[in-house]
Amino acid sequence: MKKFLHFIAAAMIAIPMLAAAHGPSRQLVEEKIFIKAAPDKVWAMVKDFGGLHKWHPAVASTELKDEKTRVLTLASEGNPTITEELENFDDEKMTFVYKINDMSVVKTITFNSVDTPYYTLPVANYKSWFSVKAVDGGSEVKWKGKFYRSFMSNPPVPEGQSDQDAVDTIKAVYTSGLDNLKIIMEK
């Protein structure tokens, strides 16, 4: 019995340490907005994979490389870019899925004696789902993303590269875009 209690005590100490040592965990952000406009009108605006700059205030321009690849140039210092790939598109269901393939490095710092890049967004392995559906005489637009923070090593984490930083950044991207889409669609 004494050995068993020692085992339990050791496990209670080791398990939290193992949980913290696994690196980043997958994060989820989901934002929805109601727009007083017909779903087909809203869908006509957002389904244009080469037209994100028409309704998202953070995007200066969108360049289509081919039918499924776009390069976003952001309206921020240095005009960083994000390359995204369309994975699935369903015009009838008014949904599409895309992922980030590449991003600009906006700066590099030395952290724990290692050069650490800061990307356009502090995320890695990012995948997103976008949908429009009819609700209460208008449209519900939902934008959901799953991702990891870009700093994939174990803690400590450089400033601006934590799980919470990644979540806050993506939440801000979604809400600013959806809020502006609502303004444009309800004019």
Which tens digit of pLDDT belongs to each residue from 52-74? 999 999 999 999 999 999 999 99
* Residue 6 counted as domain residue: no
Beta strands 69-74; 95-103: pairing state: unpaired
Segment (H or E) for 153: none
pLDDT at 3: 61
What pLDDT does residue 19 have?
46
59 lies in some domain: yes
Question: In whole angstroms, what is the distance from residue 95 CA to residue 129 CA?
Answer: 7
Query: Over the chain, what is the mean pLDDT?
Result: 92
Rg (C-alpha) for the chain, rounded Å, is 20
Residue 79: give its domain's CATH number.
Answer: 3.30.530.20
pLDDT band at 1 (very low <50, low <70, confident <90, very high): low
Summarised one tens digit per residue, pLDDT across range 169-182 is: 999 999 999 999 99
**Dist CA 184 CA 51 (whole Å):** 14
Measured CA to CA, the distance from residue 100 to residue 123 in angstroms comes to: 9
Spatial separation of the C-alpha atoms in residues 61 and 70, rounded to whole Å? 10
Give pLDDT tens digits for 120-177: 999 999 999 999 999 999 999 999 999 999 999 988 999 999 999 999 999 999 999 9
* Count of structural domains within the chain: 1
Domain hosting 36: range is 24-185
Phi-psi region of 73 (alpha: psi -120 to 50; beta: other; left: phi over 0): beta
Is residue 103 pLDDT above 80, yes or no?
yes
86 is a domain residue: yes
Per-residue confidence (pLDDT) for residue 21, from 0 to 100: 54
Report if residue 48 sits inside a domain.
yes
3-class DSSP assignment, residue 40? helix
The pLDDT of residue 33 is above 70? yes
Specify if 18 maps to a domain.
no
Residue 36, in any domain of the structure: yes
Question: Is residue 3 a part of any domain in this protein?
Answer: no
- Pairwise CA distance, residues 172 & 38, whole Å: 25
Global confidence as pTM: 0.87
User: 11 in a domain, yes or no?
Assistant: no
